[in-house]
Amino acid sequence: MARPMSAVDAAGLGRGRAVGFVLPALVLIGVFLVFPALWTIYLGLTDYRLTGLAAANPQVVGLDNYTDALRDPRFLGSLWLTVGYVGGSAVLGQAVLGFALAWVLRTRTGRLRRLVEGVVLLSWILPSTVVGFLWFALLDRDDGTLNALLNTPGFAWLLDHPLLSIIVFNVWRGTAFSMMLYSAALENVPPSHLETARLAGASVFQQLRDVVLPLIRRHVLTNLLLISLWTFNDFTPFVLTGGGPEGRSEILPIYVYNVALRGGELGAGAAVSFLILLINLAFALVYLRLLRDRRRREAALTGGPPA
């Protein structure tokens, strides 16, 4: 009882003032986050356009936008591109490279480690348009550094392999997060467990499979969920390819932009936005479920919250 459990209001704010403190933030979130999300649903059911007749007097067209989209090869193509982009750059690229880096750097200290970490982190924090331009310079057809290095002058990476280009680009851009998350996770693997496995003669692969993976499974899941969610919503490839050529790198975020804001079909764009929202929701619910389970488990471990 040294610290009574009844600290209902330690600061003496009072309910009224507490609400006053929370309200401004909630209003802003409500107007610029919640309301747009809800409005997307309504807009997606109309034929609303940026200009013309339907701009002045939009009609509710029901699910037409959705049925149109599902019949539109451009949308379906974009969906597949997105799956490839997320699978290739996030799940395969960032997660695997991030883990490999964390694993290799774990036993290293000194300059090489700091250098590698620094460069990987730098690619994460640079402004997205700067990064876009750097890759533009790297992959340029005529004077790109890559062509100069590989001695393949005139090879148009961005035109001939747009999806591959943005996948590699996003691996470069986002690996830092996975690397940091796995580094933190690997710190929690007791060295004695690995040493026991090594003494028993386990290969690196066996160590990873039998000792490391079971211990960091939740981190892996968290990582995959978050980077998939982010990559799925990533607009940055726009600054590299603008979705082109001929829509061959038009992942969903760029599709929405091109359809709604460039093409002016706000209703159709909103419908696709809503689909994105639903997919995000599925990801987020699984992720939060994971977080809550972990909290509960930790609470159980420490014998419940302190009084």
Kindly state whether residue 18 participates in binding other proteins, applying the rule CB under 8 A.
Answer: yes
Residue from 7, 56, 199, 300 in contact with other proteins (CB under 8 A): 7
Residue 4 found at the interface with other proteins (CB under 8 A): yes
The two structure tokens encoding residue 225: 């969920």
- Show contacts with other proteins in window 97-116 (CB under 8 A): 97, 100-101, 104-105, 108, 112, 115-116
Minimum CB–partner distance for residue 231 and other proteins (Å): 11
235 is a site residue for other proteins (CB under 8 A): yes
- Reduced to 3 states (helix: H, G, I; strand: E, B; else coil), residue 236 is coil
**Smallest gap, in angstroms, from Cβ of residue 43 to other proteins?**
6
Terminal-residue alpha carbon distance, the chain: 8
Supply the Cα-derived Rg of the chain in whole angstroms. Answer: 24
Tell me how crowded residue 84 is: count the other CB atoms within 10 A of its CB: 15
Among 68, 230, 244, 290, binds other proteins (CB under 8 A): 230
Is 162 one of the binding residues for other proteins (CB under 8 A)? no
Residue 34 makes CB contacts below 8 A (sequence gap 6+) with none
* 104-131 CB burial, b ≥16 within 10 A, e <16: ebeeeeeeeeeeebeebeebeeeeeeeb
Binding pattern to other proteins, positions 256-295, x when CB under 8 A? xx--xx----x--xx--xx-xx--xx-xxx-xx-------
Q: Are 214 and 190 in contact (CB under 8 A)?
A: no
How many residues bind other proteins (CB under 8 A)? The answer is: 108
Q: Choose between 10 and 300: whose C-beta lies nearer to other proteins.
A: 10
| Stretch 170-199: interaction string toward other proteins, x if CB under 8 A | --x----x--xx--x---------------
Contact 45, 272 (CB under 8 A): no
